[in-house]
Structure 1
């Protein structure tokens, strides 16, 4: 989360709703935001499409039937709390639930209901109503951050699944609200912003540089409408601003008629096609694959503009990372102190190797498959024959993710506070006991005795409405163990749904050859899950020395998570300084 100056805002004090919207979008599309604060993979419209795809794959035998009910349960919950679908649907939710939630109802009946729903909330229609509601709530005289947050998150998911790239949306957001020459006069500017995403896909031509050896495959390239050129004299576009020359031993490859929403998406589509060709060619020549330079020219035929390609952040790199000095220290400590018995160490290193393969690959499919195998291979085998494999994976992983979920959110919020105003943050935390700043912030959020400091901090946020909203949310969570327990229960359910979605995506890639449009988001999720498991095993097996096998690590974490839930479940319990210290201690 980053605060950006409001030099181009005429009246930010009367444009609170729009400013919150802008700050929220900026965080949603920041590469290194926590998964919790990024766009969801699905909204109600997309869940309908997913349900129909699952039914189709069940009929083909690629997915087992029990997987369907989890998708339908998630769909029903989304329909109940989605303000966009409430405006669009003419079918009563009770009638929908009576069919979709009934395990005895035939899949054919459920399919008909989902099809009826989708006809009323298909993605483009959903987008239009989403925009109408956003415009209404942002232009309202009332401040309703909750509604703006809900509508903005669903809109972000919609844009990504319509084909807009994260990079493009992020760039447009920052330019429109902070860096371009246009002025922001008031909340009504939201309409100008939304209009940016109202156009049809553009047609692009992408020009890459290849080694001359690619000319051996000219016939194959021609069949995919890829033209190999010795020079760019015949290209009908002004390339003079770009010094895009090839060296001897190189040739140009021109990919035409690429339909996409923006330049980044256009390049992604072009490279996906090239990767397919490269994979096929490798079947016939194993020793050398065709390669191309990432640097390319992108011609937009809508306005005849020409852009040089920009580097795209690999989905595997969109995660929290340690600074080099700290990373090297932790690696040294790990290798010198790690105490797993030989068999567990072999399992751990094999999972780490698969993680590394995903890290070094640019292919979404390879990343997804390697990460899934890495996660599945590190989980101990189940002793319960009645539990399905996917259910066992969910039950095994969830304790790792739940145990430190809110501590992780507080840790990120603490960093956001220091990035916003280091001096103010230090003054607020002065006098609050704790081994580190995160514990001090947690006590500030939770304990009644720090109410005066909370009021001072809220006043200091001024027009940083996103940080203020996040503070209020965490104050609510930490105001009672019951609130935290409710949050963890909801988090556990969402994680289960997402792991199942990752599993289905993996099956689609393997058995159907289809890669879902939201795969990059799933890669970020499973990468985060795998890192949480592996980091926990490292912590337990090195510094604390509490376990000597992976089986013990999973059992210990499950027990500690159960103890946390039991502690939070005590009726009438409150947070005290000691309980906060324990919550952030080694558990």
Structure 2
């Protein structure tokens, strides 16, 4: 989250809705936002598509039938909360639920109902209605809650329609902060939304590659890939870009790419060349037909030429330690780590699989390796009545729940420091607590800090996103009961997402298809695995509370139960002691 100058906004005090939308959309599209603040993998329309895909995979024997129940529950819950979908549907939600949630109804009956829903909220219709509702609410009275919901759905829709997140981010920043256009008032939302009425363009992408491609040029032609000796062969003016080749290089032209922006076009071209590379490795294991990611992306429709470099690896879209801090952590880890031999071997195997995913550019390989890494570190299920996915969900949730709000508040603290460091530090300095995160939790939740909360509110002014985020956490931490309700909702969302990751992994392995939202799932499972590994490291180093992985998972399970029991006590209120106990930064 970052505050940007609004010098190009004529009347920001009269454009609160639009400014909140701009700040929110920027955060949604930022590569290094927390997963919680990134777009959802699916909206209601896409959940219909997923349900139909799952039914097809069940019929093909790639997925077991009980998986459908979880998809349909999520779909019904999404439809209940989704104002875009509800405004398009002519079917009553009670009628939909009576079929989709009824165990006695056949899969065929459920499929027909999902098809009816999907027809009414197909993604293109959904996008148009989403835009109409966004325009209406932004031009109307202040309503950040509706804007937040509609904006998240809008971002999810655009990403699944094929727009690249990097392109969307650039367009957003340029329109609201950097281009020469002025932002007169909230009605500028209409001009912004028109930027996404474009149909896909035809692109070609020019790479530099090794001369080995020349030997397989006939095979390359089957993939619309042509080998060139010079740029003169493409009859496009590329003089604005110095793209000369070395003596051992040639040019590779990837043709007939339909995409909505240059970043998506490059990603599709990369995939074709990587597929050629993969097929070549079946016949020769030592040397590969390599290519450079620095390339020219040419819009065949209008002749526009852009330069593009390697995209950020999905595995790198996370908050990372700086190298010196990482070195200190590793030294401490190696000197203090105390897992017994069998558990240490299991731990290092999971770390190796994590590393394989980290070093791969293929989202399919990343997904498969991360899933195996997660599955391999989780204790073996000893209950014969519990299937593999049930065991993974049951063992993963305590790790993600116990650390959930602490991670979110920690990020809010960093955002506040980046925004107004001196003011924020001086505000929380008198609060007695162990660390900035714990101080902020006390400021948010304890009644004796109402004056400081109001001082902070007065400073937010036109930084509407951080103001809205602060008020949200004030609401969540208003009582242990509301915090527990938030954790229950988080548990439900995480369970759905773990099951979705499991289904996507099965689809990739058994049918060879890659769901459009796989990159988001890779980010999610990477985060889940990092939380588990990081927590186990914490438990196995000083003061060394565990000596085996099984003990680690049992410790988190018991801690989670205690956590929820304490929060769920009748009449329980937040106190300084309760916050010290559960939000100390140590599991």
2-side partners of 1:152 and 1:523: how far apart? 22
Q: Could you say which residue in structure 2 is the equivalent of 1:261?
A: 260
1-side partners of 2:137 and 2:101: how far apart? 32
Q: Could you say which residue in structure 1 is the equivalent of 2:17?
A: 17
Name the SS of the counterpart of 2:499 in structure 1. Answer: helix
2-side partners of 1:177 and 1:268: how far apart? 26
2-side partners of 1:236 and 1:7: how far apart? 42
2-side partners of 1:103 and 1:497: how far apart? 19
1:54 partnered with 2:36: no
Shift, 1:287, TM fit: 1.1
Shift, 1:234, TM fit: 2.3
2-side partners of 1:426 and 1:539: how far apart? 27
Query: After superposition, what is the alpha-carbon deviation per residue over 1:34-64, rounded to whole angstroms, capped at 9, x for unaligned?
Result: 0000000000000000000000000000000
Shift, 1:301, TM fit: 2.0
Query: After superposition, what is the alpha-carbon deviation per residue over 1:175-206, rounded to whole angstroms, capped at 9, x for unaligned?
Result: 10001111111101101111101110011010
1:496 partnered with 2:495: yes
Q: Could you say which residue in structure 1 is the equivalent of 2:470?
A: 471
1-side partners of 2:287 and 2:43: how far apart? 43
Query: After superposition, what is the alpha-carbon deviation per residue over 1:548-576, rounded to whole angstroms, capped at 9, x for unaligned?
Result: 00000000000000000000100111001
1-side partners of 2:277 and 2:315: how far apart? 22
Q: Could you say which residue in structure 1 is the equivalent of 2:155?
A: 156
Q: Could you say which residue in structure 2 is the equivalent of 1:110?
A: 110
Shift, 1:543, TM fit: 2.2
The correspondence of residues 177-576 of structure 1 with structure 2, limited to 5 A, is: 177-576=176-575
Shift, 1:402, TM fit: 0.2
2-side partners of 1:427 and 1:303: how far apart? 55
Shift, 1:303, TM fit: 2.3
Query: After superposition, what is the alpha-carbon deviation per residue over 1:2-26, rounded to whole angstroms, capped at 9, x for unaligned?
Result: 0011011111000000000000000
Name the SS of the counterpart of 2:253 in structure 1. Answer: strand
Shift, 1:544, TM fit: 2.4
1-side partners of 2:333 and 2:114: how far apart? 51
2-side partners of 1:436 and 1:248: how far apart? 58
Name the SS of the counterpart of 1:294 in structure 2. Answer: strand
2-side partners of 1:284 and 1:430: how far apart? 65
2-side partners of 1:104 and 1:239: how far apart? 64
1-side partners of 2:543 and 2:480: how far apart? 27
1-side partners of 2:146 and 2:411: how far apart? 24
TM-score normalized by the length of structure 1 = 0.99
Name the SS of the counterpart of 1:65 in structure 2. Answer: coil
Q: Could you say which residue in structure 2 is the equivalent of 1:74?
A: 74
Shift, 1:460, TM fit: 0.3
Q: Could you say which residue in structure 2 is the equivalent of 1:91?
A: 91
1-side partners of 2:2 and 2:282: how far apart? 47
Shift, 1:395, TM fit: 0.2
Shift, 1:103, TM fit: 1.1
2-side partners of 1:199 and 1:540: how far apart? 52
Which 5+ residue runs of structure 1 have no aligned equivalent? none
1:131 partnered with 2:131: yes
Shift, 1:236, TM fit: 2.5
In the alignment of these two chains, the number of paired residues is 586
Shift, 1:413, TM fit: 0.3
Query: After superposition, what is the alpha-carbon deviation per residue over 1:511-538, rounded to whole angstroms, capped at 9, x for unaligned?
Result: 0000111111000000000000000100
Shift, 1:31, TM fit: 0.7
Q: Could you say which residue in structure 2 is the equivalent of 1:6?
A: 6
Query: After superposition, what is the alpha-carbon deviation per residue over 1:58-81, rounded to whole angstroms, capped at 9, x for unaligned?
Result: 000000000000000000000001
Shift, 1:225, TM fit: 1.9
Q: Could you say which residue in structure 2 is the equivalent of 1:44?
A: 44
1-side partners of 2:149 and 2:309: how far apart? 31
1-side partners of 2:551 and 2:306: how far apart? 54
Shift, 1:324, TM fit: 1.6
Query: After superposition, what is the alpha-carbon deviation per residue over 1:410-460, rounded to whole angstroms, capped at 9, x for unaligned?
Result: 000000000000111022213111111111100000001111111111110
Shift, 1:311, TM fit: 3.2
Query: After superposition, what is the alpha-carbon deviation per residue over 1:459-511, rounded to whole angstroms, capped at 9, x for unaligned?
Result: 10000000000000000111100000000000001100000000011001100
Query: After superposition, what is the alpha-carbon deviation per residue over 1:114-137, rounded to whole angstroms, capped at 9, x for unaligned?
Result: 000000000000000000000000
Name the SS of the counterpart of 2:20 in structure 1. Answer: helix
2-side partners of 1:246 and 1:392: how far apart? 54
Shift, 1:290, TM fit: 1.2
2-side partners of 1:385 and 1:181: how far apart? 65
